[in-house]
Each structure stands twice: as C-alpha cells, then as structure tokens.
Amino acid sequence: MKMLNIFVVSLLLAACGQEEPVALNYPDSATVDHVDTYHGVDVADPYRWLENDIREDKDVSRWVESQNEVTFAYLATIPERERIKKRMTELWDFARYSLPSKKGGRYFFSNNDGLQNQSVVYTQAHLDADPRLLIDPNTWSDDGTVALAGYVPSNDGSHIAYLVQDGGSDWREAKVLDVASGETLDDRLEWLKFTGLSWAGDGSGFYYSRYPATSAEEKFQTLNKNMTVYFHKLGTSQDEDQVIYALPEQPDWNPRATVTDDGQHLIITISVGTDSRYSIAHQDLTDPGAKPVVIIDGFDYDYSLVGNIGNDLYFRTDDGAPNNRLIVIDAENPEPENWREIIAQATDVLDGVDLVGGRIIAEYMQDAWSVVKIFDLEGSQVGVVDLPGIGTASGFNGTADDPETFFSYSSFNTPGTISRLDVVTGEVYVIRQPAVAFNPDDYVVEQVFYESKDGTRVPMFISHLKSIVPDGNTPTMLYAYGGFNISLQPSYSTTRLAWMEMGGIYAVANLRGGGEYGAEWHIDDFIAAGEYLIEEGYTNSEKLSIFGGSNGGLLVGAVTNQRPELFAAAIPAVGVMDMLRFHQFTAGRFWTDDYGSSDDPEEFAALRAYSPYHNIKEGTEYPAILVTTADTDDRVVPGHSFKYAAAIQKAQAGAAPVLIRIETRAGHGAGVPTDKVIEDYADRWAFLVKNLDMRLPEGYGE
C-alpha cells in the first residue's frame, strides 16, 4: 500500500480582510481491489484496509493523523469557535450530583463540582452530614481518561465494588474499596464487559459476568463470545472465582446475575442480542446445594426483574402486553399457569417499575415524557408523583422495607433536580437543585406531532429560547436515535443548551424503532421530521442540520445519502456505517436482533439498500459533513467511520467540506473527561455555525 500523503488546509484572505472559502485538500485514502460475494452478489470494499486496528497498523495510524490535521486546521479558522468553547465552559461549571444510594444506613453518591474531568464518590451518615470522599478517579490518570464506570455498595455499606474504564473502552476492571478505611483492597478482576456487580446478601463477595481473556492484538476488535457468570469471594484472586453459570454449548448467549435485596434469590437473565427478550434462571440462595434452574425458557419476551417479597418474584414483561405489565412469579411454582398479574397493560408504556416501602412505583411514558404512579402490592393505584411538566423522572430505587427513595427530574431546559420521596405519605422535597448560569424560564419546550410518509403520527420535541421566533430561517438541529427500543425522553444537556443559547432550535424526533410507544414502533421517520420543520416555518434546507450518535449515526448517514439536498450539514457520530460487516466486530453480533444480518439473503438485500458506506454516490453534492469517532471505540469500531469518510470525501461533488474528527484516548462515549467533551462540542457547534451561516448573539462568549 502506498504511503499516505499529509495535506494541510490553506486559508486565503482577501485584501479587504473578508474570509473566502477554505480550500480543502483531503488526505490520500488509498483504495484496494477487495470484493466480497454475498449470495451471488459482488460488493466492492475499496477501503477495507481502514478496518485495521489503529494500534497495530501504521498506515491506518498515519491516515488518522492526516485526517485530524486537516479537520483541526479547518476548525481553527472559524472565529466563533473559541467564543463557543468559552461560553460552554461557563455553562458546564455547576455542581452535579447522582441519586443517593442507601446501604447499611449510609448514603453513597457521586458529585462533580463543575469542571472536574470525572465525578467523585462520597458517603455520608445522613443527608445533612458532611460527605466523606471515597473514590476520586481524577487521580487515576494525568489526562482524565481513566474513569469510574460504576460502583455498588454492599448491603451493609462496608464495601464498594467498582468498575474502572480505561481510555473509553468497553472493557472494565473491577476493584473493591473498604469504606471504613477508605483503602482499596488487593482484589482485581479483569476481562469484564457489559456486566453489573451484584453483592451476596452477607457481603462475602459478589457475582459478575466476564468474557475469556484474549490477546492484546485482538482485544479491541475480536467478537465477544462465551460470557460466563462467576462469584468472587473477597480477599481471593480472580483465578479462584467460582463458575456459577456457563453455557459453552451456546457461546452467543449472555448471562448476567442479580441478587435480590434480601439475599435469598439469584436471578440470571440470559440474552442473545440487544433485543429485550430473555430466558430466566433462578437459584435459591438459602439452599447451599441449589443450582440455577431455568424458569422461563426461550427468547420470546422481556422479563425484567423488579424485586421480590419472599418467594414472590416481581417482573415487568411485555408477554401478552406490548406496552408492558407487572406480574408475580412464585419461585417455588414458576410455571406460567401460576403467574399473577399485578398491574395490567395501559395505554402508556410502563417504562420502569420499582418495589419500595411496601409500594409499587410505576414509571410510564406518556407521549415520550414521564408520568409516575404509586400502587399498593395488589395493584390498586394509591397516588401520583407530581412533576413540573414535560420532562423525565428517573430513579425511585430502594428496598421493599424502606419507604425512602430518590428521583431526578430534568427537561431540555432543566438540569437534574434531585428529590426525596416517601412512598407511604407521598411527601416530596428537593434535596439538591443545580445552580446554573442561565435562566430555565428563558426557554420554551413544546411537543408537536407530525405525519410520516405512511400516515403515522409521530411526536417531536422542539426547544429554543423564548426570544427566538421561528421565521423559516432559524438554524435548527434535528436529533434522533430510533433503534434498539431506546426512547428519547426530555433531558438536560449542557451542549444542547449551549446550542439553543446560540440562537438555534433543538428538535428531537421520537422515531419508530425507539421504545416510546412499545414494541410496535418500528419505521424511520427522520426525513419526515425534517420536512415538517421546513413546511411549518421553523427553518429551511440551508439552515437545517442533523445529528445522531451510534445507531443515530447510522441514521444520519443513511438519510444524508437518500436526501442530501434536504440538509445543510450533518454530524454522524460513532455510527454503524457498514451494514454488511458490523456483526464481524466486538459487540456487533448482538445487533442482528435489530438490523438483521448480511448472512441472510433477504436481510442482505435490505441492509445493502440503506447501508451508509455502500450507498455513497460519486458526483453527488453532499451537505457539509463532520464525522466523529474515537480511536478506542470498541463497540462501534472506528473503521466504520474511517471507511465512510474516505468514500464520501472522494464522492463529494459540491463545495461543502467532508471532514472526520477522530478523538484519542476515548471510546463510544462513556467516561470521556469533561475537558475533551467541551473541546469536541465546541468543534461540532463551530462547524455548524460556519456551514449554516449562523450569526451568534451580540456579545456571546465574550
């Protein structure tokens, strides 16, 4: 393969001092004569070499460096970029808290004082006590890229098991902290991915899932198979951990273990892909000789454990209820004929259920925003949790014998406010309310409904400053996800707030494919959302941008190919761009639940028809495109974005830039330090400012 040439960006300034178009010379992306044959159909893959691991292939590494040089030089020419970064930093600088977790009479929570790269874990004896620092991930690395990926206190509050994430990878290392002394024990567990940690009732150790060890060369790209459940006893090495549940004859199955709050039952939830369709195994932990026994066989429905009272196991399920219902299964008589329905299916989606203080807290989605109801244990409604408006309530964790729980409420203009709820008395009071550098009342959050191509009525949230009167010429960002039954409810984001403060409209389309209306919500409505925003006078094609990440990055890539004239700019982030090969890497095999597989002739035809990489057309005038990815993304491997960017740079016939921004020491999104996030989004919004010809408010960021 020939060496790649490194090009730079040249900026020409007219004699009058006005900016002229930036001349872009893209790096040379070499092509190879590689062809795959799928069911008798030859499909060229000229950029196959860009799938290689950046850590192992010097040509790929040089290509990344060359692309970043061009991209960052271009972004540096945008004068508004530093103003955006300055104001975003100011907006980000407020204290943020997680919900408290109560164990052993103590409270545990995380806090970020504003601009810390990683949040810090504290404990306190009661809600008014002075917090004591337990875990500070900011001391783990100089660049802030080693992150705390989760923590779980033992039932008596004496220990914390926690997960460490390095450089954005999905791989985790587990460690244990002694709460009294504040010291980290010698316990070290490796090769953990996509797992929780669940303590035994007596605190002697915890259950977890892991994959077999692999070589360093294969760690970030090889398929993840043979997940196994282990029990780790405190004070022992990982080599001594006990295998609890293994499925060597089913390497694609993924078992994960949860201990009920009373320590009496182990529930093993077994999945195959990303669909919420599970088999369930149960082990009686009160019987030393008991082994896990499958009580729900087959991967037909969602059975999500809520909790237990004695041998009554509460599950939320879509079995016989697309919008979900709550059932009880007797652990000693688990046959379906013995199941009891506690809360029947309703019109709204039953999104979450918690068992707290002898009550059932049911969290519903009503047109994609939260409604929270309280039921007694027999399923009779006894109350409603009052919420401020169109927003999202989350949390409500606790134990069946303690009426105290906590929840967070947020919306597009409101950061998470944390409240305490007594589920018996219904008393609610705020314990932590963020002090932010803006007035939430200056913004409007509304919900509209638009008609998709097939006549379906689809909801969309639209948010902006009240002072902005949409006139058909307002810069607009349309965001969506639309897959894996993941719902986009109203939530706060400093980066999106910054966009609205800049004078932009922020629209979130609740596409079919998400979970907003249950399991039957399944078609792409993104293009119709863009057309609605134009037809209703919010914006126009020269002011409309689209943005999405992961599955949303796939969405943005696909619609950019289909309707390049509809949008002025597109930001596909960490997207799945090669729909014929996604299942060949890391976690990609799980996604065949949603996407199908090119191994199947009919599914191959459907995938090829919209695959972003395979539907780029030479000679097309594409909108301005900023592809974003990261070198340590081992979920959607960066080769997806590399190949897509190389192909669309070559195909671009218009004057709009096609760039790729590749973050270093980062992954799919989790654990990215605050300073990297601010730099990243300052680049994204500056790119939109330039390519939507956007004018910032007078004095913005100065």
Lookup: tokens for 666:
């980062």
Strand partners, 330: 312, 333
**3-state SS string over 445-473?**
EEEEEEECCCCCEEEEEEEEECCCCCCCC
Q: Which two tokens stand for residue 586?
A: 């890391």
Tokens of 382: 């006894």
Cβ 394 vs Cβ 388: under 8 Å: no
Which of 270, 329, 256, 327 has its CA nearest to residue 298?
Answer: 270
Residue among 6, 9, 7, 8 at smallest CA distance from 77:
9
| Helical segments of 45-187, H only | 58-76, 80-92
- Among the residues of 239-356, which ranges form H helices? none
The CA-based dihedral angle spanning residues 576, 577, 580, 584, taken in that order and rounded to the nearest 10 degrees? -50
The residue among 689, 676, 682, 677 whose CA lies nearest residue 82 is 682
Residue 660: which of 61, 67, 31 has the closest Cα? 67
Catalytic residues: 550, 668
Q: Taking a C-beta distance cutoff of 8 angstroms, is the pair 457, 451 a contact? A: yes
Tokens 């949230």 label which residue? 461
Pairing of strands 325-330, 340-343: antiparallel
Residue 57: HSE in the Cβ half-sphere, 13 Å Cα cutoff: 17
Give the integer Cα–Cα distance in Å for 516 and 519: 9
